A and B are shown apart, each in its own frame.
Chain A
Amino acid sequence: MKPTPSFNRSLWVYHFNSGSCNGCEIEIVAAITPRYDPERFGIKLVGSPRHADVMLVTGPVVKKMKDRLLRVYSQIPDPKVVMCIGTCGISGGVFYDSYNLEGPVDEVIPVDVYVPGCPPRPEAIIHGVVTALAKLERLEGGSA
């Protein structure tokens, strides 16, 4: 199913913590404060994966969270975008050789946008969303 232009202006975000230290969570919350006001662009946080268009994944995916991450990912209706927030999700970060790791995130589910940082600043997260929008626009064009 091809996304329409209105898709870009109404991204509903669901946040999934796969074993993060809460640093990235604090920055995500900072990114939705009135200072940055992402609701200007129709972006809002939703509580249920069924309502979501974008999934923010934080943390390095610990063993117990792998099944949950797969389940929540499959619960999000198509078309959907996955954003991986923070160094842990990209490479495992300081936990890269931990016995308890199933990740990083892109070994479990397909990831569209990576936002590096430990934790990334709100500006970086917003830049990530803009990159995700650009990817969606490419999908609309049908070239991707």
Chain B
Amino acid sequence: MTLAGTIGSIILWTVLVSLFGLVAGLFLLGIDRKLAAHMQARIGPPLRQPFIDIRKLLVKENIVPENAIPWLFNSAPVIAVVSSLVILLYIPLGSLISPLGMYGDLILVMYLLTIPALAMVAGGFASGSPYATVGAQREMVTMIGYEFPLAIVVIGIAWRLWAAGVAHPFLLSSIAGNPIWGIVGPLGIIGLILLLIVLAVVTPAELSRIPFDTQEAETELAGGLLVEYSGRNLALFSLSTAVKTLVMGALAVAIFFPWNLSSFVAMPAGVAQVADLLFFLAKVVLVMFITVTLVRVGMARFRINQVVTVYWVHFALIGLAGLLLLMADSALGTAAGVL
């Protein structure tokens, strides 16, 4: 294939995956609201409620406050949406090849995950409201909190894959291609469960959901980071949240539950890709239900100082214990192999 052809197909594929990401992400938010409503003995909004909300926000007036920095205030939501979509391009969706999958690995995804949050921080500081400023500071503190446990999970998995002799252990395609549960022994399984718990606790903070939504806290900060945003800009931030929800689900699926339906049941190639995509979406919905919906219905909000303690002490220790178990498992495996 010529260079122009390659670039053309990547661009086309990128557009398709982005559209898929927006639609699937918004439906995920709808499913989340519906399930939460059912858990509270309510009927809840229809599944397409997030689409209705976005369409309404696009009709509303877009206010830029007088003491805001207009270019930063207006560009922050765009950056947030675009960077969330870019992450999606690196993550395998079922058995479909991700458009940029071979150009970046899990480390890059970790860095990219901070960009939507940083865009929100920039937008919050640029809106010139004390509520937004407090929210932006809290967002930064939360980010510092959850990055460390997330890094432990990523390093732990990649290191164990490397120890098992997998080439390019940080590449998401090789992580998804070698399900980690089949590689490790019993000790490693315990370690992996600990790491899974850590990733499950990092997810609500990445998406600023209860109990880690101190930066948007509606009751104390009146919306926090988003307090001054209205109309189109608020719609863009909602889209960014939607895509990020899909991204976090897809990431957990790619790392911990990468199995595809087509590897168990024989089927023709075209059917297999569709079936895998549907199976992938089912897994994402399940992950989202457990990590976001169940937690946000069952818990109250943490204070910001509790957030840091929870991540840096409790979940960093749990993550390190998981990492140690994985190392012990690897050492035992090697010893058994030598004997």
Chain A residues within 8 Å of B, Cβ to Cβ: 1-4, 6-7, 9-10, 34, 37, 39-42, 46-48, 50-51, 53, 75, 77-79
Q: How far, in Å, is B298 (CB) from chain A's closest CB?
A: 15
- Residue of A1, A10, A34, A40 most packed against chain B (CB within 10 A): A10
Contact B218 A4 (CB under 8 A): no
* Chain B window 227-250, contacts with chain A (Cβ cutoff 8 Å), 1 for yes, 0 for no: 111110010000000000000000
8 A Cβ contacts from B34-55 to A = 37, 40-45, 49, 51-53, 55
A-B contact pairs, 30 of them (CB 8 A): A1-B59, A4-B55, A6-B51, A6-B52, A6-B56, A7-B56, A7-B59, A9-B49, A9-B52, A34-B42, A37-B42, A37-B43, A39-B33, A39-B37, A39-B44, A40-B42, A40-B45, A42-B49, A48-B131, A48-B222, A48-B226, A48-B227, A50-B63, A51-B223, A51-B230, A77-B60, A77-B62, A78-B60, A78-B61, A79-B60
The residues of A that contact B52 with a CB separation of less than 8 Å are: 6, 9-10, 42
**Which of B43, B55, B61, B221 touches A47 (beta carbons < 8 Å)?**
B221
**Which of A4, A7, A51 touches B234 (beta carbons < 8 Å)?**
A51
Contact A47 B45 (CB under 8 A): no
The residues of A that contact B44 with a CB separation of less than 8 Å are: 37, 39-40
Query: What residue in chain A is nearest B132 (Cβ atoms)?
Result: A48
A14 to B45, CA, bound (A): 19
8 A Cβ contacts from B43-88 to A = 43-45, 49, 51-53, 55-56, 59-63
- Given A39-B42, A39-B44, A77-B231, A46 and B218 contact (CB-CB distance below 8 Å): yes
The residues of A that contact B218 with a CB separation of less than 8 Å are: 46-47
A34 to B41, CA, bound (A): 7
A102 to B48, CA, bound (A): 43
The residues of B that contact A77 with a CB separation of less than 8 Å are: 60-63, 230-231
A40 to B231, CA, bound (A): 22
Q: How far, in Å, is B43 (CB) from chain A's closest CB?
A: 5
Q: Is the interface of A mostly helix, strand, loop or mixed?
A: loop
Q: How far, in Å, is A70 (CB) from chain B's closest CB?
A: 16
The residues of B that contact A40 with a CB separation of less than 8 Å are: 42-45
Contact B228 A50 (CB under 8 A): yes
The residues of B that contact A2 with a CB separation of less than 8 Å are: 59
The residues of A that contact B227 with a CB separation of less than 8 Å are: 47-48, 50
The residues of A that contact B62 with a CB separation of less than 8 Å are: 77
- Given A10-B52, A47-B223, A39 and B61 contact (CB-CB distance below 8 Å): no
8 A Cβ contacts from B129-155 to A = 131
A79 to B43, CA, bound (A): 28
Q: Tell me, yes or no, whether B219 is within 8 Å of chain A by CB.
A: yes
* Chain B window 200-229, contacts with chain A (Cβ cutoff 8 Å), 1 for yes, 0 for no: 000000000000000000110111001111
- Given A47-B221, A50-B227, A50-B229, A42 and B53 contact (CB-CB distance below 8 Å): yes
A40 to B52, CA, bound (A): 13
The residues of A that contact B231 with a CB separation of less than 8 Å are: 77
- Residue of A46, A53, A75, A77 most packed against chain B (CB within 10 A): A77
A139 to B55, CA, bound (A): 17
- Given A10-B53, A34-B40, A40-B43, A53 and B222 contact (CB-CB distance below 8 Å): no
**Which of A6, A39, A48 touches B55 (beta carbons < 8 Å)?**
A6
Q: How far, in Å, is A46 (CB) from chain B's closest CB?
A: 7
Q: How far, in Å, is B217 (CB) from chain A's closest CB?
A: 8
Contact B56 A10 (CB under 8 A): yes
Contact A48 B59 (CB under 8 A): no
Query: What residue in chain B is nearest A9 (Cβ atoms)?
Result: B52
The residues of B that contact A48 with a CB separation of less than 8 Å are: 131, 222-223, 226-228
Q: How far, in Å, is A108 (CB) from chain B's closest CB?
A: 21
The residues of A that contact B59 with a CB separation of less than 8 Å are: 1-4, 6-7, 79
* Chain B window 308-321, contacts with chain A (Cβ cutoff 8 Å), 1 for yes, 0 for no: 00000000000000
Query: What residue in chain B is nearest A11 (Cβ atoms)?
Result: B56
Query: What residue in chain A is nearest B233 (Cβ atoms)?
Result: A50
Contact B43 A50 (CB under 8 A): no
The residues of A that contact B56 with a CB separation of less than 8 Å are: 4, 6-7, 9-10, 53
A3 to B60, CA, bound (A): 8
Query: What residue in chain A is nearest B36 (Cβ atoms)?
Result: A39
